[in-house]
Amino acid sequence: MCFVLTGIRKRNLFQLPGKMFEGNSEEEDFNTIPRQFAEQISPQAFETQKRVYTKSAVSDLQKSKEYKEWHQRCSSCGSSWFNGQWSSQCRECGGFSMIRSCAICNGHCGSTWYRDVDMSHRMKEGYWNGKCNLPESEQTHFILQNFVDNKEDTLIEAFGDLGKR
């Protein structure tokens, strides 16, 4: 037998003392909780609710400002991408915070690319999602131009993004 607090479940489920879920019928266990919030459910239903709750709690958490601020941070130099910071010498920052201009044409097409934070953390270098709005022939021109300029990193990045399509 399990007890679940329906009215205040979302906020307090995991903050409540464990004994409240053990089916202990001693009145004093529930003294601090309005009785109308408690309902009996099967252990299976409790497990399901817990799973659904955990999933939505994680998704809520990831949308929160606090989480983003913690997550959107350079793991190499500590710059807060979330607050628009980056270090010029840092490979993981890659010269931008959370957004950048198009990496293929160096911003000529006007599209905005967004940092892939997890990949940036993992690879220890700037990783970006976006696409160039220029026709493919012009993109090739810019890629070759970058090659002539000997910007090897940009070239590899650009070809990598072409290959993903």
- Determine which residue in the list 76, 85, 140, 145 makes contact with Zn ion, applying CB under 5 A: 76
- Residue 102 found at the interface with Zn ion (CB under 5 A): yes
In sequence order, what are the beta bridge partners of 80?
Answer: 73
In sequence order, what are the beta bridge partners of 40?
Answer: 3
Ramachandran assignment for 24, one of left (phi > 0), alpha (psi -120 to 50 degrees), beta (any other): beta
- Placement of tokens 């479940």 in the chain: 9
Nearer to Zn ion, 4 or 132 (CB): 132
- Determine which residue in the list 109, 117, 143, 158 makes contact with Zn ion, applying CB under 5 A: 109
In sequence order, what are the beta bridge partners of 78?
Answer: none
Residue (of 122, 70, 127) closest to 100 by Cα position:
127
- Determine which residue in the list 81, 92, 94, 143 makes contact with Zn ion, applying CB under 5 A: 92
**Contact in structure between 119 and 129 (CB atoms under 8 Å):** no
**Contact in structure between 25 and 62 (CB atoms under 8 Å):** no
- Residue 77 found at the interface with Zn ion (CB under 5 A): yes
- Residue 143 found at the interface with Zn ion (CB under 5 A): no
- Determine which residue in the list 4, 105, 117, 143 makes contact with Zn ion, applying CB under 5 A: 105
- Residue 132 found at the interface with Zn ion (CB under 5 A): yes
- Residue 5 found at the interface with Zn ion (CB under 5 A): no
* Interface with Zn ion (CB under 5 A): 74, 76-77, 79, 87, 90, 92-93, 102, 104-105, 109, 132
